[in-house]
Amino acid sequence: MTVKTLTINGQLISAREDETVLEAARDAGIHIPTLCYLEGVSEVGACRLCLVEIAGSNKLQPACVTKVAEGMEIQTNSERLQKYRRTIVEMLFAEGNHICSVCVANGNCELQDLAIEMGMDHVRLDYHFPDRKVDVSHDRFGIDHNRCVLCTRCVRVCDEIEGAHTWDMAGRGTNSHVITDLNQPWGTSQTCTSCGKCVNACPTGAIFYKGSSIGEMKHDRAKLDFLVTAREKQQWNF
Ligand code: SF4
Ligand code: SF4
Ligand code: FES
């Protein structure tokens, strides 16, 4: 295994050659904001919250899908990056219907945490107020598309960990949305095993346990970590 030496925010660090900039930064205790990234499933580089500056390149690079290289000089928290990230979070708030005060995930939401981290005290863009559906046809879970940020974490855990591939993406541009099976109500899905992995993977209050009231929807990410370890190390055999 080859080890690469690089600097992040002036701090000299070493990383395995197969690591991403995000993994190397996390190993070194350096925080980079993320939203679509979820440890244990594939990276898609969709949300762009993890953008970093790499010396010699004018283009900002997403840390979650950029591999480390020898001699890289990375900045993770410049003024330029802070401005970009705040704008991205504001766009996410403006394009959906995120009314935190009445959301099941109020206080337990990664989008809300990011807004706080970016110092987003208001949204400078016009709200779109899209007309989106809520599907509560499943016995135990519901999805409110108004709160979906299209991170595809549900799609990936369902496919890569549970192996059910119930979730998928449909539509383009502002019409993009997640669907279950062949765009049918979740409750009629033939593939869903009701495992709840998508519920725990969702960063917002979009997928929730039915019966949750305001602020009651807590995500148990530890459950996902356990499942990934079990799959990769076959630990359920012991
Ligand atoms: S409950 Fe499990 S099987 Fe059903 S959609 Fe969610 S992750 Fe897939
Ligand atoms: S439902 Fe949740 S996990 Fe799935 S894409 Fe939307 S925000 Fe992401
Ligand atoms: S966390 Fe890297 S692009 Fe979303």
pLDDT tens digits, 145-156: 999 999 999 999
Tokens 């919250």 correspond to 49
pLDDT band at 13 (very low <50, low <70, confident <90, very high): very high
pLDDT band at 14 (very low <50, low <70, confident <90, very high): very high
Mean pLDDT across the stretch 177-188? 98
Q: Reply yes or no on whether the pLDDT at 186 is more than 90.
A: yes
Ligand 3 centroid vs 65 CA: distance in angstroms? 8
Ligand 2 centroid vs 5 CA: distance in angstroms? 36
Q: Is the CB of 136 under 6 A from ligand 1?
A: no
Q: Is the CB of 50 under 6 A from ligand 3?
A: yes
Q: Is the CB of 187 under 6 A from ligand 1?
A: no
Q: Are 3 and 14 in contact (CB under 8 A)?
A: yes
Structure tokens given for 182 = 């062949």
Q: Kindly state the DSSP code that residue 229 receives in the 8-state scheme.
A: H
31-67 residue pLDDT tens: 999 999 999 999 999 999 999 999 999 999 999 999 9
Q: Reply yes or no on whether the pLDDT at 238 is more than 50.
A: no
The SS3 assignment for 177 reads strand
pLDDT band at 235 (very low <50, low <70, confident <90, very high): low
Q: Would the CA dihedral through 160, 162, 164, 166 be positive or negative?
A: negative
Name the percent of the chain lying above pLDDT 90. 86
Among all bound ligands, the one having the nearest atom to the CA of 180 is 1
Distance, in Å, from the CA atom of 202 to the CA atom of 150, rounded to the nearest integer, reads 10
Tokens 């990934």 correspond to 228
Distance, in Å, from the CA atom of 203 to the CA atom of 47, rounded to the nearest integer, reads 12
Give the pocket of ligand 2 (CB within 6 Å): 143, 148-154, 178, 201-204, 206-207
Q: Is the CB of 194 under 6 A from ligand 1?
A: yes
User: For position 237, what pLDDT does the model report?
Assistant: 47
Residue nearest to atom 2 of ligand 1 (CA): 195
In three-state form (DSSP H/G/I as H, E/B as E, the rest C), the secondary structure along 121-171 is: CCCCCCCCCCCCCEECCCCCEEEEHHHCCCCCHHHHHHHHHHCCCCEEEEC
Tokens 């970590």 correspond to 225
111-140 residue pLDDT tens: 999 999 999 999 999 999 999 999 999 999
Q: Is the CB of 198 under 6 A from ligand 1?
A: yes
Q: Is the CB of 36 under 6 A from ligand 3?
A: yes
User: For position 223, what pLDDT does the model report?
Assistant: 74
Q: Are 71 and 6 in contact (CB under 8 A)?
A: yes
Residue nearest to atom 8 of ligand 1 (CA): 158
Q: Is the CB of 167 under 6 A from ligand 1?
A: yes
191-234 residue pLDDT tens: 999 999 999 999 999 999 999 889 988 888 777 777 777 777 66
Ligand 2 nearest atom to the CA of residue 155, by list position: 4
Ligand 2 centroid vs 56 CA: distance in angstroms? 35
Among all bound ligands, the one having the nearest atom to the CA of 62 is 3
